[in-house]
Structure 1
Amino acid sequence: MQNIDIGISKDARIAVAEGLKRLLADSYTLYLQTHNFHWNVTGPRFRDLHAFFEEQYTELAQAVDEIAERIRTLGVLAPGTYKAFAELSTVKEVEETPDAEEMVRILTVAHESVVKTCRSVLKVAQEADDESSLALISDRMSIHEKAAWMLRSLN
């Protein structure tokens, strides 16, 4: 690979990329969880939640690509296996199929967890003076804060 000279030291690029790997893992795990709930939600709120979950997982599908591409831009390989995501993610997997109300609660907690990951990675990107990563992380944080608010408003 050619030398990367984008005004960020190699150590700083690696530190930011490591944080972005955690954000990628959180986002991908949340994507899977949301898609699972979209498929399996039942009950009187089925139609609304089915559509709402689809909006969320569609947005997350785009996000994971953007995060992974930023990691690659920084010269680091992006994780791409379930095993890697499970090791890196703060979003906890759900093995059972909860009822609709519990799905909403679980997704709320998961979005809040991603916000916390964003906040920790944001600090690393600030120290590296990495404006591109800062913009990406800040945008993701805002999206997850809004998603958590919307989910909380459903109960």
Structure 2
Amino acid sequence: MKLNAIGLNEETSQSLSNDLNQLLANFQQYYQNLRGIHWNIKGKRFFDLHEKFEELYVDANLKVDEVAERILTLGGVPYHTFQDYSSNAKVPVGKNVSKDEDAIRLIVDSLKELLIIERRILDTSDEAKDEGTNSMMSDFITEQEKTVWMMKAWLAEGI
């Protein structure tokens, strides 16, 4: 077994880099969705939602950078083109979303896809003893589960 510069199995690190690239593509789609609903939201809840969507896209942008840097740390190359993102993302595309409930549902649906990928990476990174990736996924999952709960509460829906 060949180890990389941070002491992890090279083959497993490459596999994790691939999974993280999948996450990166989906985060980029989520980020674009958030920008779109931030710009296009209309209605009586505009001021509150406009501010909330900005908070979420700033956070998503930070996570995009963290994921890309983790891919580099593992020895991979992060996706960096719109073609890479669009061909690898499963997060739904939110085009021309301007109604409050549609925007919140888009966020919940997007986070569900991110959480599925993150849980898969969490399992793989745990098996690989990759604490850096594991810790990142754990933190992301905790934050996003809370956001889903809050968005579902806003929609007056149960989890």
- What's the TM-score, normalizing by structure 2? 0.91
Q: Counterpart of 1:119 in structure 2: which amino acid?
A: R
- Give the aligned partner of residue 40 of structure 1: 40
CA drift at 1:9 = 1.1
Q: Counterpart of 2:81 in structure 1: which amino acid?
A: T
Deviation string, structure 1 residues 129-154 (Cα, Å, up to 9, x no partner): 10000001111111211111111121
Kept after mapping to 1: 8 A contact 2:91/2:110: yes
- Any residues of structure 2 matched to 1:12-91 within 5 Å, and which? 12-91=12-91
DSSP 3-state at the match of 1:76: coil
2 CA distance for matches of 1:78 and 1:93? 21
CA drift at 1:98 = 4.2
* Residue 141 (1) aligns with residue 134 (2): no
Moved over 4 A (4+): none
Kept after mapping to 2: 8 A contact 1:41/1:49: yes
1 CA distance for matches of 2:123 and 2:86? 23
1 CA distance for matches of 2:64 and 2:49? 22
Kept after mapping to 1: 8 A contact 2:17/2:76: yes
CA drift at 1:124 = 1.3
Kept after mapping to 2: 8 A contact 1:8/1:130: yes
1 CA distance for matches of 2:66 and 2:13? 16
Q: Which has the higher contact order (CA 8 A, sep 6+)?
A: 1
1 CA distance for matches of 2:102 and 2:63? 25
CA drift at 1:125 = 0.8
Kept after mapping to 1: 8 A contact 2:31/2:57: yes
Identity of aligned residues (%): 30
Q: Counterpart of 2:37 in structure 1: which amino acid?
A: F
Kept after mapping to 2: 8 A contact 1:16/1:128: no
Q: Counterpart of 1:96 in structure 2: which amino acid?
A: N
Deviation string, structure 1 residues 31-77 (Cα, Å, up to 9, x no partner): 11011100100001101110110110011111100110000001110
- Give the aligned partner of residue 9 of structure 2: 9
- What's the TM-score, normalizing by structure 1? 0.93
